[in-house]
Amino acid sequence: MRSEDKILKDISKTLELHRTSRAGFTPEEEQKSKEKIKALRTELNSVITEGAVSCPACGLPPIGIHQPGSAIRSSFYEIGCRGQDKNPEDNSQHLRAIGISRKNAIDNWNEGEYWLKPQIA
């Protein structure tokens, strides 16, 4: 399996090529470019969530992201339920776990140490 950094570099290059070349793409070339971007993002998610169990609430495999740091916060990983994407009318809390490393986020997810975003009524 490729590293997160290598996949991110490929995503960046592919997105840049897509943005700069899109005006000259045939519909088939544009579709192929979009499919490549989607495949790279799917590969990245697989790397980030490797070792994570399915969501105990809905049974779907989780989705993972690496949130880069900024001047006011450190970077972190988030592993979460994608059930909200499948049923946006469901207003219940959706499970997610965070960690300072990918392994820490996976361990928190697998151990049920969830972080819940507050719901705004």
Q: What is the DSSP letter of 103?
A: H
Average pLDDT across the chain, whole number? 87
Question: Which pTM value belongs to this model?
Answer: 0.80
Q: How far is CA 79 from CA 30, 37, 96, 121, in A?
A: 31, 21, 6, 24
Q: b vs e for 78-92, b when ≥16 Cβ sit within 10 Å of the residue's Cβ?
A: bbbbebbeeeeeeee
Residue 51: what pLDDT?
Answer: 97
Tell me how long the chain is: 121
Confidence of residue 16 (pLDDT cuts 50, 70, 90): very high
Q: 97 has which bridge partners? A: 79
Per-residue pLDDT reduced to its tens digit, 39-93: 999 999 999 999 999 998 888 999 999 998 888 889 999 999 877 555 555 555 6
Contact present, 75 and 67 (Cβ < 8 Å): yes
